[in-house]
Structure 1
Amino acid sequence: MNNREKKIAAMMLVPFFTLIVMFQILPFLNVVMGSLLNSSKEFTLDNYTYIFQSKFLKQAFKNSLELSIYSTIFGLIIAFQGAYSLNRLKNSSRKIVILLINMISNFNGIPLAFSFIILLGLNGVLTLILKKIGILYGFNLFSKEGLLIIYTYFQISLGILLLYPSFSKLNNDWEEMAGILGANKFTYWKRVAIPILIPEITGTALILFANAMGAYACTLALTSGNYNILTIRITSYIAGETSYEPGIASALAVILAILLIFTTIINEIFIKRGKRYES
């Protein structure tokens, strides 16, 4: 590639970098600056001090972490089995299932919450049926347990899409060779398959965790903002009816962004380790 072609290629990237600066870097810098200002527009760390001293906001962090960690674990276990089964299907059936999973992965937010209310709400279709046959008692969709079910639901489809390609690393002959050496199926997965897939499994878990930490619309629609999680609290401080504290909202957003950026960096490290292992 000569100098002229390099200049043309660089010029073609200008619109892309302009969009990145305008819609990602500048808004993030604006949020960071807002987190360091008080109501008098003076630089201070009071917003961060208030966050780490507030029991209410600590509870929001705790609830967000609990939902994210548990939904990641449950979603990852189910998604792993789903991705494994998907790789066992014929190509024609696999394409249809992948298409359906793609559709499901985009079905979230308010429509997802509305669907679960119809199915598992206090007078939902499945709720009434399960209560009638004596299976379901005391379940409340609008509690932490209900939120955990919804979080796990939208984690499964994303987990399958992320894990599905990683199974191509496994050679079918390895399982046969392990069997010849006397290993059963459990030993094969414990000693061979799982260690090979560890980078992908860990990376998927981190992405699912970040996905759950940033969830907002579904929780808001289901609980009307009454369940205390981090994203709901950010909104309440900038659009709430009782308090308007943009500095605290910005500080919460910065802390959440740092957590998600840290998660992304760890994910990249595991991806590089996986590529190094393959080579």
Structure 2
Amino acid sequence: MKPVNKREMPVLITLLPFVLLVLAFEAVPLAAMVLDSFRGDSGKGWTLMQYATVFGNKFYLQAIKNSIVISLYSSIAGLLVSMAAAYSFTRLPGKIQETVLMFSNMTSNFVGVPLAFAYIVLLGNNGLFTMLFAKWGWSIFNGFDLYSWTGLVLVYIYFQVPLAILLLYPAFFGIREQWKEAAYLLGASRPEFWLHVGIPVILPEIAGTFTILFANSMGAYATAFALVGGNYNLLTVRIGSLVAGNVFTNPQLAGALAVFLAATMLGAMWLNSLLLRRIRRDMT
């Protein structure tokens, strides 16, 4: 092991508060959560009972399925919308691009309870747009319920799109005009260029963005809880109710669910890394 240089000591000392912060608020709680997931309901002894409950109870299996499905739907929809938006931003003048990106950065942080409240004010049962649509007789919105699966997906897509735009914008900006001109001179149409050149070039960024969106959606809690409460069975909502429920608490079972949630996110990241390596190998 390389000895520490005296000149590096001040730098390492300045990093010490950050290391302590990570240990106190990430490493230690994570270790405690994993250990609790292998304990019984009383918090004593070591057992796999909590994991047996997770995978043997239809209620918790439904929560897992709902979270995965809503994450896939919102991630795919958000990715498609953001791809079109990110490409459109590259065609705008420089000053307008900066303004739009600043707005995207601001809206990407507009999540949680404020986002749910905004949607309730606009599209709730007595929301502004709901009343306007009813007054105008727009039958296409009849039967729309913000507090259902459809409304939840709509809210999830909202906070997915700005984040995906910020991640995809540099990739689209990196596609050079010379590539397009060369393709057009060789007789390729615009769709053919994007199918054979543009999309394959930015495919690693697209796959990475999808993984981040999926993990972002799987871990969302405040928005879903503020919008539907416990009326829709989601994994994060179940974890929250087991940790700080009004009826009963079971932090050991919550730990098992949280471990599964973390494993799902890590699995998605691993698949993304495997896919990126394969894409880069095929491109070379």
**What's the CA shift for 1:269?**
5.5
What is the TM-score normalised by the length of structure 2?
Answer: 0.92
**What's the CA shift for 1:132?**
2.7
- 1:246 corresponds, among 228, 244, 251, to 251
User: Quick check: 1:207–1:267 contact (8 Å CA) kept in 2?
Assistant: no
Q: Which amino acid aligns with 1:124?
A: G
Map of 1:1-279 to 2, 5 A cutoff? Answer: 3-40=5-42, 41-135=44-138, 136-267=141-272
Counterpart Cα distance in 2 of 1:73 and 1:154: 13
User: Quick check: 2:207–2:276 contact (8 Å CA) kept in 1?
Assistant: no
**What's the CA shift for 1:224?**
2.1
Counterpart Cα distance in 1 of 2:275 and 2:33: 29
Counterpart Cα distance in 2 of 1:255 and 1:205: 20
User: Quick check: 1:200–1:274 contact (8 Å CA) kept in 2?
Assistant: no
What is the TM-score normalised by the length of structure 1?
Answer: 0.94
Once structures 1 and 2 are overlaid, which stretch shifts more, 140-149 or 2-11? Answer: 2-11
Q: Percent identity among equivalent residues? A: 43
Structure 2 residue ranges without an equivalent (≥5): none
**What's the CA shift for 1:276?**
8.4
Structure 1 residue ranges without an equivalent (≥5): none
Q: Tell me the secondary structure at the aligned position of residue 147 of structure 2.
A: coil
Counterpart Cα distance in 1 of 2:56 and 2:200: 42
Once structures 1 and 2 are overlaid, which stretch shifts more, 168-177 or 25-34? Answer: 168-177
What is the aligned residue count?
A: 279
Once structures 1 and 2 are overlaid, which stretch shifts more, 6-15 or 189-198? Answer: 6-15
**What's the CA shift for 1:80?**
0.5
- Cα displacement string for residues 52-71 of structure 1 (whole angstroms, at most 9, x for unaligned residues): 00000010011101110000
- Cα displacement string for residues 2-42 of structure 1 (whole angstroms, at most 9, x for unaligned residues): 82223333333222222222211111000001101113401
